[in-house]
Amino acid sequence: MIPELSNPSVCMRDPQRVQEILQSMVKAGSNTVQVISDFDMTLTRFAYNGKRCPTCHNILDNSNLISNDCKIELKELLTYYPIEIDSSRSIEEKLPLMVEWWTKAHELLVQQKIRKDLLAMVVQESDAMLREGYKLLFDHLYEHSIPLLIFSAGIGDILEEVIRQAGVFHPNVKVFSNYMDFDESGELRAFKGELIHIYNKREGALLNTGHFQELRTRPNVLLLGDSLGDLTMADGVHDMENILKIGFLNDKVEERKQSYLDSYDIVLLKDETLEVPNAIMLYLTGNN
Ligand code: TMP
Ligand code: MG
């Protein structure tokens, strides 16, 4: 049906079920579809030429807006990443540690009095990289008036700048993320609203009922993520009919493969491209 589903990076627990979901979504029509995607390591690359690509937080951490002393403290927080991807610990066990990670990181960033007017330059000078095929994904969704919700535990101001500079921040894109709160002089003084971390996207979704209410005529969801925490991003969708979950498994592939296969319909192993999501999107819109 979709040749890209035979790519070597593709793994599926139940290919038959994937076909059924896709057929059901095609039948319902692309005007009933919405896309919900994570940002870091899902829309952006995990690595390029063997080198890790930055997350929203890393873009700031590595920039010259951060003092050397603070960089040292931020480096110490890298010890939380192995916990994030540790398949031997339960989500319940990891959750308080993830809250601790985000809280400490945001406290450090706030101490740096980061200036709003310098964010565009920082993103410009960073190694941020959207996955290959991003332009087709964003442009095609826009052309077909399919809403794209980017739901990120990263930093909203940074991710918006990444997609703006890439020329794909179209009007059909909506972002739920952690936004910076600047004082009257344009210096960072806090983060706005409820913290979104890797394991509370469900709560974040339920806080934004208005968005999902507006999209109630679109009960068919294409979900893209790279973490098991991303699976709850669609929990606010009204009267869901079908959901197809595509998961990028970037790191610690062998250890985590089974848990990803158990929860994502399609798992993409070390695949740095959007080839498979794009093929599915084209299929859903009748390839035009
Ligand atoms: P996402 O929801 O867009 O994927 O963003 C969350 C990612 O951000 C998650 O994989 C961990 C990462 N992260 C950092 O790289 N540095 C940090 O300081 C924090 C708090 C998170
Ligand atoms: Mg992610």
- What does the pLDDT look like over 243-252, one tens digit per residue? 999 999 999 9
Alpha-carbon Rg for the chain, nearest whole angstrom, is 19
Contact (Cβ atoms closer than 8 angstroms) between residue 113 and residue 78: no
For residue 196, give the ligand 1 atom closest to its CA.
Answer: 2
The whole-angstrom separation of Cα 283 and Cα 288 is: 9
Q: Which of ligand 1's atoms lies nearest the C-alpha of 57?
A: 16
Determine if ligand 1 sits within 6 Å of the CB of residue 159.
Answer: no
**DSSP state letters, 114-133:** -BGGGHHHHHHHS---BPBT
Give me the sign of the Cα torsion angle 46, 189, 175, 213: positive
**Whole-number Å distance between alpha carbons of 244 and 265:** 6
DSSP string computed for 226-284: SSGGGGGTTTT-TT--EEEEEEEE-SSHHHHHHHHHHH-SEEEES--B-HHHHHHHHHH
User: What pLDDT score does 62 carry?
Assistant: 96
Say how many Å lie between the CA of residue 221 and the centre of ligand 2: 18
- Helix (H, G, I), strand (E, B), or coil: what is residue 82? helix
Q: Quick check: CB of 152 below 6 Å from ligand 1?
A: yes
Are 138 and 274 within 8 A, CB to CB? no
* pLDDT averaged over every residue in the chain: 97
Kindly list the protein residues that place their beta carbon closer than 5 angstroms to ligand 2, a single-atom ion: 38, 40-42, 226
Asked if residue 166 has pLDDT above 70, the reply is: yes
Query: How many angstroms is it from 55 CA to the middle of ligand 2?
Result: 8
Rounded CA separation 177/154 (Å):
6
Could you tell me which of 130, 86, 101, 105 has the C-alpha nearest to residue 228? 86
Q: Measured over all CA atoms, what is the biggest interatomic distance in the chain, rounded to whole angstroms?
A: 57
Contact 1, 284 (CB under 8 A): no
Percent of the chain clearing pLDDT 70 (strictly above):
100
Q: Which atom of ligand 1 is found nearest the CA of 102? A: 20
Residue nearest to atom 13 of ligand 1 (CA): 57
pTM (predicted TM-score): 0.98
Give the residue from 139, 212, 136, 203 showing the smallest Cα distance to 174: 212
Q: How confident is the model at residue 66 (pLDDT cuts 50, 70, 90)?
A: very high
d(CA 62, CA 122): 9
Residue 288 has pLDDT above 80, yes or no: no
Q: Is 66 in the pocket of ligand 1 (CB under 6 A)?
A: no
Q: Is 38 in the pocket of ligand 1 (CB under 6 A)?
A: yes
Q: Is 285 in the pocket of ligand 1 (CB under 6 A)?
A: no
Q: What is the pLDDT of residues 5-61, one digit of tens each?
A: 999 999 999 999 999 999 999 999 999 999 999 999 999 999 999 999 999 999 999
Q: Enumerate the active-site residues.
A: 38, 40
